[in-house]
């Protein structure tokens, strides 16, 4: 959908003439009360659920969660997926032409924040004729957007489902983002963010960024279970896997092969400037900041009911961070449900099937559905 | 000290005409029974203790641990520090000329293992006329060497002090090493490891490698305490630190500034090929491997007495890994002391002052000293 704007951004600038790519699933009911907005994290899009006809492996990124008969049941809910501004999957982003200059945005694309995305999502809802959301939901950075909805538009959201998220990034979180960004920015093919004109892509940097990210998405346990110290040669069946090749540059362990593959794949489709923008949006998110660091004060504005979910082995956004949110909401006597799921998969667990996790979300949305039936 | 060799290496090749840089502190006693060998980790050298005359900030890397009146008291012990083969602080390494070819080794420097280093250290002791060590000690990768001493030369070592170490790397440990290596190897200035001839240094890769490493050396807690979400602008006193600059490429948070500084500094003095070699030595170390993965079987060869120390906030080599070693040694009814120190500094704690840590090591070495007095 095309928007004339201008949309004012937190950085002090604004963006005009922009597109938001979105998809919807299910049917909006007569009183427009069954809409659920799903917000995405770093590496996802508006394509939340379903498949594209004739396209193999085109399942939406949360297809296990959203669909007919699924925890977020599209037989009852009207679900909206939207690609955020600055991303690289259809909405206006750094690889598009800036209509004001006629040149590709590149590194000049404005810095966008979680709050800006929420404003853009609200404008999309206006255009769709939806005043109030039955629920807003998301995992990780998507959970930050869901939380921010309850603060920016408290009267437009009845429920917020915040999964594997945090009230802000820790120093360690920022540190990992920064290393990934440095890998991209110092890649000679980055050209200060204007690589499009040079016909190159900073793939080296993107690969490193993705490898780092991937390590932080998985738990130590699941890495040991899946890969352990298994040699690549053993997997390839070349040897019984007892012999080291003694090489510093070749793949020796299976975990190396896996990470290189993930890095290569990512560098083929993800935009480098988008990576910088989205990790920065993560860094900047900190609703307590304008309240002297007091999260309870910041969340006083929220009137929605909340479901929070965390995963015990998630060391990127640990359960302790979700508990901070729970505590701050309870300080304000808000209605909060909280589940800490003992899944082994680390941060990635929010995208994966787990019977307890899916059960918790399903039950919660049954409750949400009762409010408009 | 110059060695003619050849020293047989685990990779099947060998190295001849090599130098080992070493330093000693204290005095070897008449019956040569008071020698302590200190093994270094990735980023250290033979310069364990003391200062170089007229050279500011030249303290040895374990100067708080080793010296007159210190936990490893050089008034009683004769302490030896040795730079490992393949390192870049004086011993023969990738930046030196291969006497067999007349060219700089570069990427052709043979892959070295913990076991190879121990063999080289044993040859150095032979040359120094020391048959038996009162103790061998080291932290992290240095601890692996100390452990390996007890397996390769059980009759030459009476005590092993293994600090913040592990019986092998986990998949996650290997993963972090691999990302760092990829950053170096894919730096266009690496030239397949033969960058010396091109008059360049793969500094981009070294910076990224060091930044990643540094994150894993610190605990999440200490990072939050030291840096938290403090803005660079606040530290510089430019503003009260309330305003974001809204930039994806400039330093915004203090933790970013710190990491960039660490990366820059490291890239000025550390050799890229050495980084690959030493992280690979870490990856390869796995004494249980030749015993069907059974650590207890592997450690049956050890006859030394052990002190193991771990740090509660060390998530790189967690206390659980040290406990694996303790259990395997106890399975063999070995004499083991174990201390788990509640220090906040993560893996880095092994290099830092902590009164409990220093006390444990001091007491242990008093016991060691009683055996020869």
Q: What integer pLDDT is reported at residue B322 of this predicted model? A: 98
d(CA A80, CA B261): 44
Pairing of strands B14-15, B7-8: antiparallel
pLDDT higher than threshold 80 for residue B239: no
Give me the residue from B179, B204, B242 closest to A215, CB to CB.
B179
Average confidence (pLDDT) over B14-18: 96
Cβ-based contacts of A187 with chain B (< 8 Å): 204
CB atoms within 10 A of CB B182: 23
d(CA A230, CA A235): 8
CA A51 and chain centroid, separation: 20
Query: Which member of B45, B140, B219, B233 is catalytic?
Result: B140
Phi/psi of residue B80, nearest 5 degrees: -120, 125
Q: What is the DSSP string of B150-208?
A: HHH-GGGBSEEEEES--SS--HHHHHHHHHHHHHHHTSGGGGGGT-GGGT---HHHHHH
Give the best residue of B179, B181, B293 to mutate against chain A (max A CB count within 10 A): B179
**Each residue of B294-329: pLDDT tens digit?**
999 999 999 999 999 999 999 999 999 999 999 999
Strands (E) in B17-71, as ranges, are: 18-19, 22-25, 35-39, 66-67
Cis peptide before B294 (omega within 30 of 0): no
Question: CB–CB of A111 and B246 under 8 A?
Answer: yes
Comparing C-alpha atoms, which of B25, B28, B33 is closest to residue B372?
B33
DSSP class of residue B12 equals S
**Each residue of A112-123: pLDDT tens digit?**
999 999 999 999
| Residue carrying structure tokens 């001091």 | B362
CB atoms within 10 A of CB B336: 19
Average confidence (pLDDT) over A294-323: 97
Give me the residue from B111, B215, B259 closest to A248, CB to CB.
B111
Q: Could you tell me which chain A residue has the CA closest to the CA of B9? A: A246
B303 burial level (CB within 10 Å; 0-12, 13-18, 19+): middle
Cβ-based contacts of A170 with chain B (< 8 Å): 220, 223-224
DSSP class of residue A115 equals H
Question: CB–CB of A229 and B193 under 8 A?
Answer: no
Average confidence (pLDDT) over A42-46: 94
Two tokens at A103? 């040149």
Two tokens at A268? 């083929």
- Residue B80, strand partner residues: B24, B37
Lowest mean pLDDT across A79-93, A219-233, B254-268, B328-342: A219-233
d(CA B266, CA B139): 20
d(CA A87, CA B155): 63
Q: B208: Cβ–Cβ under 8 A, 6 or more apart, which residues?
A: A179, A182, A183, A186, A208, B180, B183, B184, B263
pLDDT higher than threshold 60 for residue A360: yes
CA B261 and chain centroid, separation: 21
Cβ-based contacts of B12 with chain A (< 8 Å): 246
Reported as type and span, the H/E element at residue A117 is: helix A114-128
Question: CB–CB of B178 and A248 under 8 A?
Answer: no
CB atoms within 10 A of CB B101: 9
Where does the pLDDT of residue A293 fall: very low under 50, low under 70, confident under 90, or very high at 90 and above?
very high
Comparing C-alpha atoms, which of B119, B135, B106, B115 is closest to residue B201?
B106
Q: B235: Cβ–Cβ under 8 A, 6 or more apart, which residues?
A: B241, B254, B257
Q: A174: Cβ–Cβ under 8 A, 6 or more apart, which residues?
A: A283, B229, B253, B255, B256
Contact A19, A7 (CB under 8 A): no
Strands (E) in chain A, as ranges, are: 2-3, 7-8, 14-15, 18-19, 22-25, 35-39, 66-67, 72-73, 78-82, 135-139, 159-163, 305-311, 336-341
CB atoms within 10 A of CB B155: 9
Cβ-based contacts of A315 with chain B (< 8 Å): 315
| pTM of the full structure | 0.96
Chain B nearest C-alpha distance from A56 (Å)? 31
**Each residue of B20-76: pLDDT tens digit?**
999 999 999 999 999 999 999 999 999 999 999 999 999 999 999 999 999 999 999
Query: Which member of A314, A318, A345, A348 is catalytic?
Result: A314
d(CA A239, CA A245): 11
Q: Is the dihedral of CA B317, B323, B328, B332 positive or negative?
A: positive
Question: CB–CB of B253 and A174 under 8 A?
Answer: yes
Give me the residue from B175, B211, B220 closest to A170, CB to CB.
B220
Inter-CA distances, B57 with A136, B117, B120, Å: 56, 28, 29
CA A270 and chain centroid, separation: 14
Question: CB–CB of B255 and A171 under 8 A?
Answer: yes
Lowest mean pLDDT across A237-241, A320-324, B227-231, B352-356: A237-241
| Mean pLDDT of chain A, nearest integer | 96
User: In the annotation, is B140 catalytic?
Assistant: yes
Contact B162, B147 (CB under 8 A): yes
Cβ-based contacts of A253 with chain B (< 8 Å): 171, 174, 178, 283
Angle between helices A272-284 and A203-217 (to 10 degrees): 40
Q: Which long-range contacts (CB under 8 A, 24 or more apart) does A57-66 make?
A: A60/A23, A61/A351, A62/A38, A62/A351, A64/A351, A64/A352, A64/A353, A64/A358, A65/A358, A65/A361, A66/A25, A66/A38
Cβ-based contacts of A252 with chain B (< 8 Å): 280, 283
Contact A3, A19 (CB under 8 A): yes
Two tokens at A353? 């099937």
Contact A163, A137 (CB under 8 A): yes
Chain A nearest C-alpha distance from B138 (Å)? 24
Pairing of strands A78-82, A22-25: antiparallel
CA A134 and chain centroid, separation: 20
Give percent of chain A above pLDDT 70. Answer: 98
Give the best residue of A114, A167, A171, A293 to mutate against chain B (max B CB count within 10 A): A171
Contact A143, A165 (CB under 8 A): yes
Question: CB–CB of A207 and B277 under 8 A?
Answer: no
Two tokens at A137? 């939901």
Angle between helices B141-152 and B272-284 (to 10 degrees): 50
Q: Which bin fits B90, alpha (ψ -120 to 50), beta or left (φ > 0)?
A: left
d(CA A134, CA A34): 5
Chain A nearest C-alpha distance from B45 (Å)? 21
Q: A57: Cβ–Cβ under 8 A, 6 or more apart, which residues?
A: none
Q: What integer pLDDT is reported at residue B5 of this predicted model? A: 84
Where does the pLDDT of residue B237 fall: very low under 50, low under 70, confident under 90, or very high at 90 and above?
low
Chain B nearest C-alpha distance from A181 (Å)? 8
Please name the residue ranges forming H helices in A129-253: 141-152, 171-185, 203-217, 220-226, 232-236
- Residue B138, strand partner residues: B39, B162
DSSP 3-state of B321? helix
Q: What integer pLDDT is reported at residue B364 of this predicted model? A: 98
Question: CB–CB of A229 and B286 under 8 A?
Answer: yes
Cβ-based contacts of A226 with chain B (< 8 Å): 171
Average confidence (pLDDT) over B217-239: 86
Two tokens at A54? 């004739």
Give the best residue of A86, A179, A191 to mutate against chain B (max B CB count within 10 A): A179
pLDDT higher than threshold 60 for residue A239: no
Q: How many residues does chain B have?
A: 373
Question: CB–CB of B188 and A188 under 8 A?
Answer: yes
Give percent of chain B above pLDDT 90. Answer: 95
Give me the residue from A111, A168, A187 closest to B248, CB to CB.
A111
Q: What integer pLDDT is reported at residue B23 of this predicted model? A: 98
Where does the pLDDT of residue A372 fall: very low under 50, low under 70, confident under 90, or very high at 90 and above?
confident
User: In the annotation, is B347 catalytic?
Assistant: yes
Comparing C-alpha atoms, which of B194, B275, B283 is closest to residue B10?
B283
Using alpha carbons only, give the angle A10, A122, A372 rounded to the nearest 5 degrees.
145
Contact B48, B66 (CB under 8 A): yes
Chain B nearest C-alpha distance from A320 (Å)? 12
Average confidence (pLDDT) over A36-56: 95
């Amino acid at each position: 959908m095309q928007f004339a704007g201008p949309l004012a951004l937190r950085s002090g600038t604004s963006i005009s003439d922009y597109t938001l790519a979105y998809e919807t699933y299910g049917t909006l009911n007569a009183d427009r009360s069954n809409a659920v907005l799903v917000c995405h994290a770093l590496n996802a899009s508006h394509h939340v659920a379903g498949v594209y006809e004739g396209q193999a492996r085109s399942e939406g990124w949360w297809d296990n969660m959203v669909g007919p008969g699924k925890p977020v049941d599209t037989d009852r809910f009207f679900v909206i997926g939207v690609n955020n501004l600055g991303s690289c999957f259809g909405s206006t982003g750094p690889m598009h032409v800036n209509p004001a200059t006629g040149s590709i945005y590149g590194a000049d694309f404005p810095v966008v924040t979680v709050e800006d995305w929420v404003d853009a999502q609200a404008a999309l809802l206006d255009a769709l004729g939806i005043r109030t959301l039955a629920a807003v939901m998301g995992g990780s950075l998507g959970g930050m957007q869901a939380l921010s909805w309850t603060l920016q538009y408290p009267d437009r959201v009845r429920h917020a489902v915040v999964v594997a998220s945090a009230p802000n990034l820790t120093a360690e979180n920022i540190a990992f983002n920064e290393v990934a960004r440095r890998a991209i920015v110092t890649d000679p093919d980055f050209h200060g963010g204007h690589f499009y004109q040079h016909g190159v892509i900073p793939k080296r940097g993107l690969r490193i960024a993705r490898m780092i990210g991937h390590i932080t998405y998985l738990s130590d346990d699941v890495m040991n279970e899946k890969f352990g110290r298994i040699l690549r040669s053993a997997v390839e069946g070349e040897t019984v896997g007892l012999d080291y090749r003694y090489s510093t540059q070749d793949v020796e362990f299976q975990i190396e092969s896996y990470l290189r593959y993930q890095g290569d794949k990512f560098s083929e489709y993800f935009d480098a400037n988008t990576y910088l923008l989205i990790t920065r949006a993560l860094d900047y998110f900190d609703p307590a900041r304008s309240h002297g660091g007091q999260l309870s004060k910041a969340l006083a504005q929220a009137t929605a009911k909340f479901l929070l979910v965390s995963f015990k082995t998630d060391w990127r956004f640990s359960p302790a961070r979700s508990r901070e949110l729970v505590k701050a909401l309870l300080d304000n006597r808000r209605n909060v449900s909280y589940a800490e799921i003992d899944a082994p998969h680390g941060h990635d667990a929010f995208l994966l099937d787990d019977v307890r996790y899916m059960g918790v979300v399903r039950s919660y949305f049954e409750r949400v559905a009762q409010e408009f039936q």
